[in-house]
Structure 1
């Protein structure tokens, strides 16, 4: 059984006119094109349009053209990781009906980080594929643990309990990461640069190794869009509509964990993208996951690409990692979401 078998009543979803959605789709696609162009053009040196087109055409004779070639994989990876994290956050919010759900806030990123730290310190890893598998396993274990702890007690897995469980788990796992890495000077330097979160070390090889995982997670999450609409109506009503609630939750959550784990493996634990983007997209296209998930994917690519560009521009010729930029944006947004009284549950 796939997740795309049962549809909840459309009247239960806040909808937007098709013209409005198509207009915003054009806006987001334009923003993504502009962000990716800026990512290629701006950095320690500014590259003109003539050099960009020449480099894309295969001419690499000047320093500016060489800079374009070097920035291309970084631009592509930023878009892929941003899309993966935003889609993962949107699906996690839909599965848990928790407006605070985000791979970083729920401890999923930190679980992937701890798994990589332990593997580096014990068995050693030499390929991006090994990093990805280990990160996905760590993310899955952390997600299951947080959901289990948040489900304890009266009322089950409420949004507040899951958020608190995620925050506590993140803090505990962060301490374990320090305990694992600190005594190992041989891995500490590389690990510390990775754990900040950024796409500066992107290569076409690493993109090629992570791309199958991202595509698999993307397919699973998008196939679950219609079923997530049913879950938004409540478990009892969703079951009454013929939805296998536990199975749908498990499949959708698995897709989100694969996306988060793979993105964390290649870019480090970048937080708040999965929190900010889904909320903004709901304002634009409504609650229908068949529209929300694709929009969140595109908007996440825009956000992380723009954050990476900002990190290169504001402190030239040095850089500020994209994970720091998203944290500066996301922390105030998180406080805003927490203080809103109408978003205790989706």
Structure 2
């Protein structure tokens, strides 16, 4: 019997399944180990270098009078934790967007969530004289939620259901309008531009632990909801009719997915500003490693995205040392070639 026939035999497929699962587990564990290494590096590297041994000493011993202790506990640990949380949120929301719309080029901004958050922050800055990250959080979340609702209403208008194509088109239109609003505000009010543009670039610098505490409940709720949607998204990948026959409710699944994307992307954008390419490129890497199973794609995206964000943050600290290049700029430089390599190296998987 030929090798091709053997490969298609059910027994051969069953024997290969544990090997494929082991490969996925190995990738997940390896990604977690790399994330831990980058987290330690993120605490050690900066305008003031702290050796890894001293980092460990500072973590294990309370010395509030020490300069190293102050830098580690009040600046770098909150920054590292925020990078992990925001990265996981962006990875999950990107994978969720691509699965929900069955569009491999979808990213968290496709439903207007990023645009809504940015427009709300720009309006609030102009009208209410906002100055700190703490004030941005609630306006950004409200703007993200409002934009998602408008997109869903437009995408489901008329007799037709809110299909992936209709949602994507509605999201593109809403994003274009919101971008015009933001550009108009910052051109009419230079003071707004000065305060808004630093946040708009996407930055982890200067964000303290209070902001992490504000957005963490939203990120946790969105993450749990996203992971819970993995099975119905797997069913809907076969089409709405086939997914419904398998027990998935297409309308409910998409509404819950939009809620999860709003929570994840809205809170992440509120904390650090819009960061490009993380939510777009990382899910493709996850699918390349583990295939189309959304359970693994979502899980691996939640680990690989913080790896990319932490690595970009470290590169930004070193690129212009002792000055700093903001992480949103670095992810654009790093994410674009990564995505182009994925597109050129292999055909993007149909979703």
Q: TM-score scaled to structure 1, two decimals?
A: 0.85
Kindly provide the CA deviation profile for residues 213-264 of structure 1, in whole angstroms up to 9, marking residues without a partner as x: 1111111111111111111111110111222110111011211111000000
- Tell me if structure 2 keeps the 8 A contact 1:146–1:169: yes
2:137 is the alignment partner of 1:132 = yes
2:224 is the alignment partner of 1:216 = no
Instruction: Report the CA distance between 1:62 and its aligned residue.
Output: 4.2
Instruction: Report the CA distance between 1:123 and its aligned residue.
Output: 3.9
Of 246, 249, 254, which residue of structure 1 is paired with 2:259? Answer: 254
Change over 3 Å in CA distance of 1:55–1:285 after alignment to 2:
same
Change over 3 Å in CA distance of 1:221–1:240 after alignment to 2:
same
2:117 is the alignment partner of 1:101 = no
- Tell me if structure 1 keeps the 8 A contact 2:34–2:307: yes
Alignment-derived partner of residue 295 in structure 1: 300
Of 174, 181, 188, which residue of structure 1 is paired with 2:179? Answer: 174
Alignment-derived partner of residue 334 in structure 2: 329
Matches of 1:20 and 1:112, distance apart in 2: 38
Alignment-derived partner of residue 8 in structure 2: none
Change over 3 Å in CA distance of 1:157–1:338 after alignment to 2:
farther
Matches of 1:176 and 1:86, distance apart in 2: 27
Instruction: Report the CA distance between 1:71 and its aligned residue.
Output: 1.0
Alignment-derived partner of residue 27 in structure 1: 30
More helix by share: 2
Alignment-derived partner of residue 6 in structure 1: none
- State the number of aligned residues: 333
Matches of 1:77 and 1:138, distance apart in 2: 21
| Structure 1 stretches lacking a partner, 5+ long | 1-10
Moved more, 98-107 or 282-291: 98-107
Kindly provide the CA deviation profile for residues 177-212 of structure 1, in whole angstroms up to 9, marking residues without a partner as x: 121233334433221111100110221111111111
2:200 is the alignment partner of 1:195 = yes
Instruction: Report the CA distance between 1:298 and its aligned residue.
Output: 1.1
Higher relative contact order, chain-length normalized (CA < 8 Å, sep 6+): 1
Matches of 1:341 and 1:146, distance apart in 2: 32
Instruction: Report the CA distance between 1:78 and its aligned residue.
Output: 0.8
Kindly provide the CA deviation profile for residues 1-20 of structure 1, in whole angstroms up to 9, marking residues without a partner as x: xxxxxxxxxx9xx9772211
Matches of 1:331 and 1:227, distance apart in 2: 31
2:284 is the alignment partner of 1:279 = yes
Change over 3 Å in CA distance of 1:155–1:250 after alignment to 2:
closer
- Tell me if structure 2 keeps the 8 A contact 1:36–1:75: yes
Q: SS where residue 132 of structure 1 aligns?
A: helix
- Tell me if structure 1 keeps the 8 A contact 2:235–2:243: yes
- Tell me if structure 1 keeps the 8 A contact 2:111–2:167: yes
Q: SS where residue 131 of structure 1 aligns?
A: helix
| Structure 2 stretches lacking a partner, 5+ long | 1-12
Of 264, 269, 275, which residue of structure 2 is paired with 1:264? Answer: 269
Moved more, 57-66 or 76-85: 57-66
- Tell me if structure 1 keeps the 8 A contact 2:236–2:243: yes
Of 53, 69, 83, which residue of structure 2 is paired with 1:50? Answer: 53
Change over 3 Å in CA distance of 1:88–1:158 after alignment to 2:
closer
Alignment-derived partner of residue 247 in structure 2: 242
Alignment-derived partner of residue 20 in structure 2: 17
- Tell me if structure 2 keeps the 8 A contact 1:129–1:210: no
- CA RMSD across the alignment: 3.0
- Tell me if structure 2 keeps the 8 A contact 1:105–1:271: no
- Tell me if structure 1 keeps the 8 A contact 2:185–2:192: no
- Tell me if structure 1 keeps the 8 A contact 2:140–2:270: yes
- Tell me if structure 2 keeps the 8 A contact 1:194–1:268: yes
Change over 3 Å in CA distance of 1:158–1:204 after alignment to 2:
closer
